[in-house]
Structure 1
Amino acid sequence: MAIELLLQLALGAIAVVANALSAFAGGGAGLVQLPALILLGLPFASALATHKLASVALGVGAAGRHWRASSLDPHICLMILCAGLPGVWIGASSVLALPHRIATAALGLLTLSLGLYSARRPKLGQTERVVNINRQQQLIGIGVLFAIGVLNGSLSSGSGLFVTLWLVRWFGLSYPRAVAHTLIMVGLIWNGTGALVLGFSGEIHWSWLPALIVGSLIGGYLGAHLSLKQGNRLVKKAFECLALLMGLSLLIRSL
């Protein structure tokens, strides 16, 4: 009984830390939470399904704070939804067929490149940019969101950071507004879809979910609050640090 209580407290603490970081920096809950679930004894497929379902609470916690701040653009939300959900479904449906070590190493390299790219451009995402996107550019934007959706459904770790940087670089959002869209659309809807698809395989570890969900709700709200209060520069730095740490973590896990 005491061991089970300690396990639930540990799960809650892991969820608070992972989701607060994710809500502040625009992605990365999987950097802490997914490996922790694996280290605590869950096989990869079960850990991924449980992590995704618990991460839906991150979107709920962040949504309450960001909707109060009116920081969401309905057009961008709809685009992320329509472009990403088919990719999430495909990725979650095929996750067990992927060569996991190779895919994880590739994702680690890509995530590292995100942090380095942002760090080398000090003004990136510091202010809103008015971007006049033609039809061809919009199709490219949608195609990349679809590809990120496939990554979200299959590997989970890093996909939120990809969405955040893509919204900043391609669509001209500031980092705090990009983070808001990522948390709600990816954390709430993409992860919910992935959890639903994986849940049908019976991989969700239900007894661990209550502590993870409570921790995700608390962490999501706290991280979103800090993101709105601290301003663009600190959010950008947090994004870059987390991208670099996540990239290194994924590379190490692939060895």
Structure 2
Amino acid sequence: MLDPLVLLALAGVGLLAGFVDAIAGGGGMISVPALLSAGLPPVAALATNKMQSVIGTAMAVLTYWRRGFIDVKKLVVAIVLTFAGSALGAFAVKQIDTGLLAVLVPIALIAIAVYFVFAPNLSDADRTARLAFPVFGPVMGFVIGFYDGLFGPGTGSFFTIGFVTLFGFGLTRAAGHTKALNLVSNSAALVVFIFAGDVVWQAAIAMAVGQVAGGYIGARAGIRFGARLIRPLVIVVSIAMALRLLFAG
């Protein structure tokens, strides 16, 4: 039984994490340490974080969709393959040594940050796509979904860079579609955690309350300020995640 003040603090953390996650991803950098500080074991902290994160992400997705920044029909096949990839990654995590990813992923995240710093004409305007989304969007969803089930950190940044560089999406539309596929990949892993009984529901519900508010406010802020907010936040989050992975433990 968690102390009511701890639950209140977790709700506040959920709000902040949801806000950041709705715009640039990486909310887990805020929420997971908070759950560990509240005394949850590592597996329970990860499972509880997935639960509250899915709820906040769902609110962000709903907000982006209602404002016209997500084309659900275009995403149907990508959604199916993202879920399949994430489920397969969650199954494979016990079979594959992820040690190499702990080195390669920070390098990729820093590369994404550098791209967003120096790339010209990154705005909310769509550009010419390099690849056809109906063919290669589902492939991207499966690959990044598999990575999310297997390892996880930086998934939002990888989706965003894919939508922008491969498919020519403007940054706000990329953020909306990123949250949609991220919701799918997180849900696949969450199913595994729920059936394993790893979710601490008290903490999850408290943080979910904050996540709903944070996801809504963050999505609205992303829509209102567009590239002016999304671009710098993606840079900051990507670098922060890279440093956390490089120097963790």
TM-score normalised to the size of structure 1? 0.87
Partner of 1:183: 179
Write the letter of the residue equivalent to 2:105: L
Partner of 1:153: 149
From 163, 166, 170, give the equivalent of 1:174: 170
Unaligned ranges ≥5, structure 2: none
Unaligned ranges ≥5, structure 1: none
Write the letter of the residue equivalent to 1:52: K
Say whether residues 1:28 and 2:5 are aligned partners: no
Asked whether the equivalents of residues 23 and 224 of structure 1 are also in contact (C-alpha less than 8 Å), the reply is: yes
Compute the displacement of 1:119 (Å). Answer: 1.4
Compute the displacement of 1:230 (Å). Answer: 0.7
Asked whether the equivalents of residues 109 and 251 of structure 1 are also in contact (C-alpha less than 8 Å), the reply is: no
Change in 2 beyond 3 A, CA 1:158/1:76:
farther
Partner of 1:227: 222
In the alignment, the residues of structure 1 paired with residue 187 and residue 45 of structure 2 have an alpha-carbon distance, to the nearest angstrom, of: 15
Partner of 1:37: 35
Asked whether the equivalents of residues 19 and 29 of structure 1 are also in contact (C-alpha less than 8 Å), the reply is: yes
Compute the displacement of 1:229 (Å). Answer: 0.6
1:98-113 correspondence to structure 2 within 5 Å: 98-99=96-97, 102-113=100-111
In the alignment, the residues of structure 2 paired with residue 143 and residue 12 of structure 1 have an alpha-carbon distance, to the nearest angstrom, of: 36
Say whether residues 1:236 and 2:234 are aligned partners: no
Compute the displacement of 1:83 (Å). Answer: 2.6
Compute the displacement of 1:214 (Å). Answer: 0.7
Change in 2 beyond 3 A, CA 1:99/1:36:
farther
Asked whether the equivalents of residues 176 and 232 of structure 1 are also in contact (C-alpha less than 8 Å), the reply is: yes
Partner of 1:16: 15
Write the letter of the residue equivalent to 1:127: A
Where 1:171 maps in the other structure, the secondary structure is: coil
Asked whether the equivalents of residues 160 and 183 of structure 1 are also in contact (C-alpha less than 8 Å), the reply is: yes
Write the letter of the residue equivalent to 1:34: V
Compute the displacement of 1:117 (Å). Answer: 1.9
Write the letter of the residue equivalent to 1:148: I
Write the letter of the residue equivalent to 2:16: V
Change in 2 beyond 3 A, CA 1:248/1:168:
same
Write the letter of the residue equivalent to 2:171: Y
Between the aligned residues of both structures, percent identity stands at 29
Asked whether the equivalents of residues 53 and 195 of structure 1 are also in contact (C-alpha less than 8 Å), the reply is: yes
Compute the displacement of 1:176 (Å). Answer: 0.6
What RMSD in Å do the two structures reach over aligned CA positions?
Answer: 2.3
Write the letter of the residue equivalent to 1:215: G
Where 1:28 maps in the other structure, the secondary structure is: coil
Where 2:69 maps in the other structure, the secondary structure is: coil
Asked whether the equivalents of residues 59 and 183 of structure 1 are also in contact (C-alpha less than 8 Å), the reply is: yes
In the alignment, the residues of structure 1 paired with residue 199 and residue 96 of structure 2 have an alpha-carbon distance, to the nearest angstrom, of: 19
Asked whether the equivalents of residues 79 and 138 of structure 2 are also in contact (C-alpha less than 8 Å), the reply is: no
In the alignment, the residues of structure 2 paired with residue 64 and residue 147 of structure 1 have an alpha-carbon distance, to the nearest angstrom, of: 24
In the alignment, the residues of structure 2 paired with residue 90 and residue 145 of structure 1 have an alpha-carbon distance, to the nearest angstrom, of: 13
CA distances 1:78-137 after superposition (whole Å, capped 9, x unpaired): 243023111110122233455455433332222222111221203234420132635xx8
CA distances 1:124-176 after superposition (whole Å, capped 9, x unpaired): 34420132635xx8655433332211221233321111111111111110111
From 171, 194, 198, give the equivalent of 1:199: 194
Where 1:81 maps in the other structure, the secondary structure is: helix
Partner of 2:48: 50
Write the letter of the residue equivalent to 1:156: G
Asked whether the equivalents of residues 117 and 235 of structure 2 are also in contact (C-alpha less than 8 Å), the reply is: yes
In the alignment, the residues of structure 1 paired with residue 5 and residue 94 of structure 2 have an alpha-carbon distance, to the nearest angstrom, of: 31
Moved more, 6-15 or 35-44: 35-44
CA distances 1:37-77 after superposition (whole Å, capped 9, x unpaired): 23433333222221111111112221332222111123442
Asked whether the equivalents of residues 78 and 139 of structure 2 are also in contact (C-alpha less than 8 Å), the reply is: no
CA distances 1:7-37 after superposition (whole Å, capped 9, x unpaired): 1012111111111011122x11122112332
Where 1:200 maps in the other structure, the secondary structure is: helix
Write the letter of the residue equivalent to 1:5: P
